[in-house]
Amino acid sequence: MVLRKRPAGRITKVEPRVPGVNTDQHAEFADLQWDDVRLFRAIHRLGSMRKVASDQGVVVNTIRRRIERVETRLGLDLARRSVNGIVLTENGEKLLRIGQAMSDAAEWDLADSTKDVLVKPGQLTIACTEGIGTLWLTPRMSRLQAALPKMIIGLDFDYNLARDRTHEADVWLTFEQPAEPDLITSKLATVHFAVYASKSYIGRHGSPSTMDSLKTHKIVEHVSPGVRSELLDFLIGTDRPQGFIAMRTNSSLSQLWSVAKGVGIGALPTFVSEITSAVKPVPPNLAIRREIRLVYRAKAKPSPAILATVKWLRECFDRAIHPCFADSYIDPKTFIRDSGETNIVNIFPNTFDEMN
C-alpha cells in the first residue's frame, strides 16, 4: 500500500505524442504538461489568483510566477487581468480544450490496454482527509487489498477538499459537491462532531457544561482548508481570554493525540468513540455535521477496481453497523467500541488507551 501526503507543486510531465493531441495541428502546445492543465482549470473555475492560491495552498506570487513560466515555455498569452479578476485568453481556452482531449485520449488508451480506467495503471488511488484516511480507512485496508490482490492501493491525504482531483485520484471523499462535469457523486455518510476531553484533563480542569463555559478551558484547534474553524467564533464569539487556544494544528491525528494527552479539549468526529476510550464526549452539544461525498469519474464506472472500492467504502461507512455516520446525531456514549481487527489500538499498541 502506498501511504503518503501529496507533495506541493509536484510536476508530472505528459508523455510525448499522446494520441490525438500532440499533432502538428497543435504544435504550440507540444510541451503542455498536466500541471499546466490543472493550473488553468483552476483559473477558469475560480477566476481569481487569490482564490487559486488559496485552493492550492500557496501564495499569490507563486501562482503569478507559474502562469508566467507556462506562458514563456509555450510562447503564448494564456490569461489576462480583468475588472472581475483573471480570465483566460483565446489560447488559454484552447489549452483547456486540448487538456481535456489529452485526458480522454489517455483514458481511452488505458481502457483498451488494461480493461480498466485508472489514473495510474496498476494502482487504485483514494484521496481523502488525513483523519478519515488514518483513523477509519487504514485499519480496514486489508479488506480492500484482499479484493484487489494484484493492485497497489494508494491512499493520498489532502487537506484541501475543494481541489480538482480528476487527474490525481480514482476515488475521492469530500465534504463539498464537486463542480467539475462528468463526475459521479453520492452521499456516503454524515460525520458529526462533539466536544471531547481526556480523563486527565477533566481531573485537572473539570468538564465544560455550557457553550459560554468553553471560554474557561484550553482548546486544541484543528485548522486546515475545508475545516470550518471559523465556527468557533460563531459559537463563543471572538472575545477570548489569553491562552484560550492551547494548540493549533492542521493535522486531525495530532489533534486527537493532543486531546488524549490532556493538552486541551477539542471538537472531534464522534467516530473516535468507536476507536478509543482515551477521550470521552463532554458537554455542550455542538450540533455540527458534515456530509461525506463519494466521487469518481463517470468514465471509470465500468472499472472492476472502482466498483470493488465503492463497495468497500460503503461497507466501511455502513450506518447500520456504525451509527456514528447516521444522518441524525446519536449520542457517542452509546456506541459499541470495535474490539476486532479495525481497532486502532492494534495499529498503535499501548498508546491511546493507556495514556491516562
Q: What is the pLDDT along the chain (356 residues), one digit of tens a residue?
A: 444 444 443 333 333 333 344 444 556 776 677 677 778 888 888 888 888 887 776 788 888 888 888 888 888 888 888 877 888 888 888 888 877 766 555 444 444 434 458 888 899 999 999 999 999 999 999 999 999 999 999 999 876 656 667 778 999 999 888 877 788 999 999 999 999 999 999 999 999 999 889 989 999 999 876 666 666 776 777 777 888 999 999 899 999 999 999 999 999 999 999 989 999 999 999 888 999 999 998 888 888 999 999 999 999 999 888 999 999 999 999 887 655 544 444 444 444 444 44
d(CA 69, CA 62): 10
Q: How far apart are the first and last CA of the chain?
A: 33
Task: Give CA angle at 229 (238, 249), nearest 5°.
Answer: 110
Which residue carries 482548546 as its cell? Answer: 219
d(CA 164, CA 208): 40
**Surface-to-core class of residue 16, CB atoms within 10 Å of its CB (0-12 exposed, 13-18 middle, 19+ buried):** exposed
C-alpha cell at 272: 473516535
pLDDT at 345: 40
Q: What proportions of the chain, in percent to the nearest 5, are helix, strand and coil?
A: 40, 20, 40
Q: List b or e across 345-354, with b for residues whose CB sees 16 or more CB atoms inside 10 angstroms.
A: beeeeeebbe
Query: Which among 175, 189, 206, 191 has a CA at the least distance from the CA of 273?
Result: 191
